[in-house]
Amino acid sequence: MSIAILNEISENLQKGKAKIVVELVQKALDEGVSANDILNEGLLAGMSIIGEKFKNDEVYVPEVLVAARAMNKGAILLKPHLAAAGVEATGKVVIGTVQGDLHDIGKNLVKMMLEGKGLEVIDLGADVAPETFIQTAIDQNCKVICLSALLTTTMGVMEDVVKKAEEMGVRDQLKIMIGGAPVSAEFCAKIGADIYTPDAASAADVAVEFCK
């Protein structure tokens, strides 16, 4: 039963039917399907199929955009259910997708998990310049900067953020966390960022530690 509804979520997401996706996500929650299963086996499974089709030129940007919208709308419903029960951290974090990169689904998931842990999150959105990350962290007194990148052509901007923090004399006061599909722990070490985490949940766990 739950497998059928998860497949339905995936299929409707691929068609960009945001309204139906939202209804199905709510129905699955009402039926007791876990938020993690809905996220991973429904929404993200659908996004992954769209991603493959996109790569193979079977679908194009407009189809991917409507699927992305459906993904974001469905994920919003999961937010209260993904929050870790009883864990209330304190701290302020700034997050964004780096300059030149418009992909924001992964960044939104990380934000959701951070908020679920009780952290205050300043979301700069996508296509964010290096100096904006650093200036916001200074102005808003954030200890942690979370950077997301989905393109091999924009991951280098993460290094610019690290360099900008050095130039502005605040590198030792900030933790710089990086993530996104093309990013790795090796890349993190190479550019001198503090940590790479592979998914939204582990990013939130690490941010809580950094904020302590």
Interface ranges with ligand B1M (CB under 6 A): 44, 47-48, 50-51, 54-55, 61, 64-65, 68, 100-107, 109-110, 146-148, 150-153, 177-182, 197, 199-200, 203
Closer by beta carbon to ligand B1M, 12 or else 197: 197
Which letter, b or e, does each residue of 67-105 get, where b requires 16 or more Cβ atoms within 10 Å of its Cβ?
A: bbebbbbbbebbbeebbeeeeebebebbbbbbbebebbb
d(CA 56, CA 36): 28
Phi, psi of 101 (to 5 degrees): -120, 125
- Is 116 or 179 the residue whose CB approaches ligand B1M more closely? 179
Q: Closest distance between ligand B1M and the C-beta of residue 67, in Å?
A: 7
Least distance in Å: CB of 185 to ligand B1M?
12
Closest approach of ligand B1M to the CB of residue 151, in Å: 4
CB of 18 to ligand B1M, least distance (A): 13
> Which C-beta is closer to ligand B1M: that of 30 or that of 121?
121
Shortest separation between residue 205's beta carbon and ligand B1M, angstroms: 11
Helix (H, G, I), strand (E, B) or coil at 190: helix
Q: Which is nearer to ligand B1M, 31 or 152 (CB)?
A: 152
State the Cα angle at 67 between 62 and 70, rounded to 5°: 130
> Using N-to-C axis directions, what is the helix angle for 61-82 and 2-14, rounded to 10°?
140
